[in-house]
Amino acid sequence: MARDPRNATALLDDTPSYSRQGRGGIFLVIKGPDRGETVRLVDQPISFGSGSSCSLALTDNTVSRKHLEAHIIGDEVIMVDSGSTNGSFLMGATDTRIEKVAIGFGAEIKLGRTVIKYLPDEEAVSPVPSAQSRFGSIVGGDTKMRQMFTMLQDVAPTNATVLIEGETGTGKELIAEEIHNHSSRRDGPFVVFDCGSVPRELIESMLFGHVKGSFTGAISDRRGAFAEANGGTIFLDEIGEMAIDLQPSLLRVLDKRAVRKVGSNTYEKIDVRVVAATNRDLRAEVAKRTFREDLYYRLAVIRCGVPPLRERGTDIPLLIQHFVNSFGPNLRVSAEDMKVLCGHAWPGNVRELRNVMERACLLARGDTINLDDALVAEAQSPTFGVRTDLPFKEAKGQLVEMFEREYIEDLMKKHKMNLSAASREAQIDRKHLRELIRKYGLDSRQTDDADDAE
């Protein structure tokens, strides 16, 4: 039987910046005499067997004439054995003979001596650059950034799961927040969960919640991050840092759209959009078996690669002016300072540029930014620089102001703007903390006692 050339899968030489998974997927023969053959599942059922009428006709003589069928029913892919002689098996820790089973991407099915694998039909996308130089609070005039803006504009209104890949400091969390802000879920919660900063023994409890008494220290029931994000979006930052033995629990939640608290026997349905981010190459991690293949496919429904600042050098002047407008609207940047800033390597990407510009504005004398001291401060310390060229009182005041802003910003971000929890950890009065939040404009919402309940 002649093979349909449309069923041939071409491998991309380079990982595209943007990709999306089409409806359905591809079955690839990974073992047996027909290794490398493929067939696509879209809307109509497909069949596997040694008969010439099958969608994928196999030459394996241990396969029945019509051995197995695949159907898309709703959002699920269902495999149904067609009464085969030797049976169909879902491969795993122990191969399980199946009559009917729902599968996800990465699943492997054995029929006779043949093994087929179900993979996403991934399409590289090259968006037309947007005419706009910003998307919400994200600024960029570079072609790569404007392509990303077009992609985000198309994807944000959907409920598709998005994986954002990029170096540290490229603004992945800001992108996730703008996806949320441009979606129908904008009035719901936006919950950030940093997979790299939570002790591994607490991740399941903090993600899915726990019931009282489920482990030592569980003195009351707790809602997890997924439950807190119900009706909105959960942002799983640094997903590549999650230990591989914890990944199956996350995969089950993504598949079932339901969470089970630690210590509970029941599932709670959730309505949550998932956006994840990583600074790792997850495809390489999958190849090294440090990240589950099926979880990767479940997260990468839409893949968005964020370019580092060194690849968008023409954006540096635009970003500089954007940050000056934010931190020192009455200040200007000299031609000499602009040349220095444009020539800097910026290994910390936009975050590093933002920090330098905030310091340069805060330390300004006269009507120009103070770049010299800002860069010295950046080199000496990732957080603060001590000004010995100013009177003690003035230098101390500037330092205290920088400390207060960064401390309160990090504190409130850590506690997701929960005033009660933040004031307890900082051991400062709630009223004083509220005043500091308003002083530095760190939250535009009105915070009251009712909003602080845990």
Do residues 349 and 169 touch, judged by C-beta distance below 8 A? yes
| Per-residue pLDDT at 423 exceeds 80 | yes
| Per-residue pLDDT at 51 exceeds 80 | yes
For 299, list phi and psi in degrees, rounded to 5.
-85, -35
Return mean pLDDT, the chain.
86
- Residue 394 belongs to what H/E stretch? helix 392-414
Whole-model pTM? 0.75
- Residue 341 belongs to what H/E stretch? helix 335-343
Helix (H, G, I), strand (E, B) or coil at 303: strand
Q: Within 13 Å of residue 21, how many CA atoms lie on the same side as its CB?
A: 21
| Per-residue pLDDT at 315 exceeds 80 | yes
Give the pLDDT of residue 79.
Answer: 97
Helix (H, G, I), strand (E, B) or coil at 61: coil
Rounded distance between C-alpha atoms, residue 88 and residue 97, angstroms: 6
Rounded distance between C-alpha atoms, residue 308 and residue 300, angstroms: 20
Rounded distance between C-alpha atoms, residue 298 and residue 53, angstroms: 32
Query: Which of the two residues, 239 and 215, has the higher pLDDT score?
Result: 239
Instruction: Categorize the per-residue pLDDT at 161 as very low, low, confident or very high, splitting at 50, 70 and 90.
Output: very high
Rounded distance between C-alpha atoms, residue 47 and residue 70, angstroms: 6
Give the pLDDT of residue 160.
Answer: 95
Q: Report, as an integer, the average pLDDT of 389-401.
A: 60
Tens digits of residue pLDDT in 316-343 = 999 999 999 999 999 999 999 999 999 9
Give the pLDDT of residue 5.
Answer: 38
Give the pLDDT of residue 377.
Answer: 61
Give just the sign of the alpha carbon dihedral 67, 72, 74, 78: positive
Torsion, CA 351, CA 352, CA 353, CA 354, rounded to 10 = 50
| Per-residue pLDDT at 13 exceeds 50 | no
Instruction: Categorize the per-residue pLDDT at 436 as very low, low, confident or very high, splitting at 50, 70 and 90.
Output: confident
Give the pLDDT of residue 282.
Answer: 92
Give the pLDDT of residue 411.
Answer: 87
Tens digits of residue pLDDT in 252-284 = 999 889 998 888 888 899 999 999 999 888 988
Q: Within 13 Å of residue 248, how many CA atoms lie on the same side as its CB?
A: 1
Give the pLDDT of residue 368.
Answer: 94
| Per-residue pLDDT at 229 exceeds 80 | yes
Q: Report, as an integer, the average pLDDT of 419-439.
A: 81
- How distant, in Å, are the alpha carbons of 29, 227, 357, 361 from that of 335? 61, 51, 15, 16
Which amino acid is present at 275?
V
| Per-residue pLDDT at 357 exceeds 60 | yes
